[in-house]
């Protein structure tokens, strides 16, 4: 999961979840555990991948 996050994603996840950026970073590193943070990160990656696929389809057309 960590490798799929882009610059600024951890800060955005912190804003969405209400946790500090440092805490989010520790969850992403596996030092801490937080299901809500991981779910938000997964949703961000899924949305980004979906948008990327849609853009790729438009380029082919």
- What pTM did the predictor assign? 0.83
The residue whose two tokens read 């801490």 is: 32
The answer on pLDDT for 30 being more than 80 is yes
In angstroms, the CA 54 to CA 34 distance is 31
Q: Can you tell me the mean pLDDT for 4-9? A: 93
In angstroms, the CA 11 to CA 31 distance is 17
């Amino acid at each position: 999961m960590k490798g799929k996050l882009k610059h600024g994603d951890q800060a955005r996840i912190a804003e969405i979840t209400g946790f500090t950026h440092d805490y989010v970073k520790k969850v992403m590193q596996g030092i801490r555990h937080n299901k809500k943070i991981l779910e938000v990160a997964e949703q961000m990656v899924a949305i980004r991948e979906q948008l990327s696929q849609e853009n790729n389809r438009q380029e082919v057309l």
